[in-house]
Structure 1
């Protein structure tokens, strides 16, 4: 009951700048003065809103745009100059066909659109378009002239690359769409557009390959996005929380990546990507547990090397999750299972330690978490130095001061380093939080507590769903045909089918491809 009250969303009326549905059908008026007053009132006295009268031939017109969202030099060259040339000759526009002919002749080479409603004009102005009104005409001309300075394409900052493409997503959705389109030259690649946030009007794209994707999952995603009622979306992380299955869990139910090759490869497998304008992190769904141990680089190296690297990631996850709790339970409750030479060494180390083992472990865990956060938030030039030097200095200092034992520092340091192996930051954070829970279980029940915590964790994971897909697939339910690309990565030519748990329209990923073999030597005799 308490959790329901805490997480229950309270219904409230949102007063958006976008008019309600019944007023979205207000058409553009014929009188230029009325239009000028109307849009001047909507945009108020903001200094970057420009609206001015001009003449096209013998016909009065009105031009308006946001100076901060458009390229004024391009406006002067492609629009104002063309209209000034047109004004030399008498010109009269009386119907829509004449308006279209005028656009073809005088504004050739620009992206044009005829607008009929006021809300369309508002949306286009906010998107960086130039709006041209013509007297006695009920349609406006929208000319795309947006110019927003964006970060250039760079190597992803959160996901290191040894072999593979070095480009990463940026904050521009147009750039991100082109990075995907450049890799998937398929006419069935679709980008569905949504606008979210009554204040921010953030553009969101749902990307998938028609003919492959599971349309049941696609409909569920579009429904959840359409049901979002919020004032602002600034990053994909906000959208992720709004559309995730409403489950109290530490594990991320949606995968995110800065790498276009990772997103493109998963689109080909039948998954769905969500691009949020203003965010370099693209969401990928549905997501399963195994996704957080796979990286696109696994498919750029020989399969034996990739399989070994993947097993190291699984092993690192187990070390990061279990080592502190196992150490605590053994040193506190089960010292009889420790070999005698090792037990003598551990006992001598802890002889002058004034605190119990639980307090030692918590001291070092919190210390390393502080160092990690400090290194992540400080400027890049000094962040790694602070983490490394701080860890060395503090680790050595607490050992010499007799606050914690050497073995405790070794265990916590190994667990912390192992958590960095995970390629996805959100999953590594989940592991760190679960580690504290298992430490508490171990401090009370010993190894039985660790076993109980693992059983509860496995049961929780098996109960999770990501847009209807079991989170632990293909482990639970166990799908034998999908095991070729889970813990081990089989050769590329043997991966013929897409993951069966996605239930894609086309299950076959590649036809029967056999491994090439060297030619047989001919008998010389």
Structure 2
């Protein structure tokens, strides 16, 4: 009991330590105004950035006064500083431009740096923050205010094809690690002034930029406020990827099912925004968070809406079937072959038992051995260099499977079961959801080994009960199947023609429920027939 209490107490975080502002970066200094003395400013910022070889500080003339410029060489475009900023400062000095107060400093900025993204800085922590963000800061002697000019380098990965959610027909671009690029990919698809992008900072040490994107005339105010509140209340020192933030703001952590949808496809994110959902962009991560999410979202792909509804419906039902196979097939094999032989046709059970002749292990050990082996091969294929990873995983599976059968360790039929289970797991369009299936499959195998098919049924019912208990930002996870919403069944197990899906999902409580006009115009041919 004492150990349990210690674990719980160690998980509690001091609620007073939840500020994520630039001032925290130099908390030991506090909120201090920039000094009028150039020498003191040089000493202060040299001390703050000591042992940083890329920090650069140089004295220059700013008009008729002496000043300093500060920046990090690794964060700025050096050509822009050399060709533009220095040239402009030399021109201002030659013209003997006077700067006697803050008003003249603002006029100086408008006259010489009007083409730049300029921010006025007044405190030392502001200078530190903008330098770290790729700005060049200019401080003027005798003034307690400076200028921060955006000179960040434009080096970033280009827009490429999605590597995690590939489709045949549809847009082939994907998000990158740049929040500006990601936002532009969304705005290119949603040219609407109601598209809002709120900027927040998360992480006491990293000060990571986090952007909330939504349509304010569609998205529910309650959902938007809930997402904003959870992000603002995050108590973390560092946010490196959207996965860190996802775990900190989701409703429940102790569950194998993903509580927030993440994707690197701009078309998927844009469609979710138009439905009334809220998305979160984390600077430095190509995966965008979409919330709230429901169970059926993980069986839908953007390509469903780019092809005919009949084929899309067939493929969607196939995904649900593949999910059940990946989850239940191994446990059903154990239950039938170990406890319930009478449920298997006579010819089939004779064939299975003939193949198992000479196998020294019971069915549960046999299938666990193959499942664990396959998981090792899959993980090795992912972690190894791409040049050899795929080859090793395929060859390894073939060689080990064939060798295991010939050695009499496993049966031929079991290899088929494991292979079919593995392929069914890959059908899921979202990798995080497939991981949940992998975890629960082992749980069902162990329960079935003890209780037979009754254990399989019991485990499956426990999974359903767990799903009914889950909430994603206040929305029941099994919506619209439980609670059952008849109007939303047009895009769940099957996809009806787009003309029939005129309303947004009820569970999102969108401000504007209607997506399409209730009365569509007749085709041109029909109009001609009516006129005749």
Both proteins in one fold, TM over 0.5: yes
* TM-score normalised to structure 2 length: 0.94
Output one character per residue of 1:133-171: Cα deviation in whole Å (capped at 9) or x when no partner. 112222111100000521111111111121111111111
Q: What root-mean-square deviation, in Å, do the aligned CA atoms of Structure 1 and Structure 2 show? A: 2.1
Distance 1:368 1:138, change over 3 A: same
- Residues 458 and 168 of structure 1: is their aligned pair in 2 closer, same or farther, counting only changes over 3 Å? same
Cα separation, 1, equivalents of 2:115 and 2:52? 30
Whether the aligned pair in 1 keeps the contact of 2:195 and 2:216 (CA below 8 Å) is yes
CA contact (8 A) 2:139 2:147 kept: yes
Shift of 1:518: 6.8
1:322 aligns with 2:328: yes
**2:365 equivalent to 1:363:** no
Counterparts of 1:20 and 1:484, CA distance in 2: 55
Deviation of 1:65 after TM superposition, in Å, equals: 0.6
Report deviation, 1:54: 1.0
How far does the alpha carbon of each residue in 1:426-456 deviate from its partner, in whole angstroms, 9 at most, with x for none? 1101101100011111111111111111111
State the alpha-carbon separation in 2 of the partners of residues 320 and 334 from structure 1.
21
Matched, 1:11 2:13: yes
| Residue 419 (structure 1) aligned with residue 425 (structure 2) | yes
Q: 1:393 aligns with which of 389, 399, 406?
A: 399
Secondary structure at the counterpart of residue 87 of structure 1? helix
2:199 corresponds to 1:193: yes
Q: How much does 1:192 deviate?
A: 1.1
Contact 1:24 1:117 in 2 (8 A): no
How many residues are treated as equivalent by the alignment? 524
Q: Residue deviations 1:452-475, cap 9 Å, x none? A: 111111010000001111011001
Q: Is the 8 A contact 2:220 2:508 kept in 1?
A: yes
After TM superposition, give the deviation of residue 515 of structure 1 in Å: 7.8
Q: In the alignment, which residue of structure 2 is the partner of 1:309?
A: 315
Equivalent residue in structure 2 for 1:160, among 166, 180, 184: 166
Distance, in Å, in 2 between the alignment partners of 1:328 and 1:511 is 53
CA contact (8 A) 1:115 1:140 kept: yes
Structure 1 pair 295–285 and aligned structure 2 pair: CA distance change class (3 A):
same
Q: Which residue of 2 aligns with 1:85?
A: 91
Say which SS state the counterpart of residue 525 (structure 2) adopts. coil
Kept after mapping to 1: 8 A contact 2:367/2:414: yes
Distance 2:421 2:519 in 1: 42
The aligned counterpart of 1:287 is 293
* Residues 409 and 476 of structure 1: CA distance in aligned 2, closer, same or farther (over 3 Å): same
Matched, 1:218 2:224: yes
Deviates most, 181-190 or 103-112: 103-112
Question: 1 CA distance for matches of 2:276 and 2:4?
Answer: 35
How far, CA to CA, are the matches of 2:6 and 2:485 in structure 1? 39
Q: State the partner residue of 2:446.
A: 440
| Alignment partners' CA distance in 1, 2:376 and 2:522 | 53
- 2:247–2:253 Cα contact (<8 Å) kept: no
Partner of 1:509: 515
Instruction: Name stretches of at least 5 consecutive residues in structure 2 with no aligned partner.
Output: none
Q: Secondary structure at the match of 1:252?
A: coil
| Deviating more after overlay: 89-98 vs 404-413 | 89-98
SS in 2 for 1:284: strand
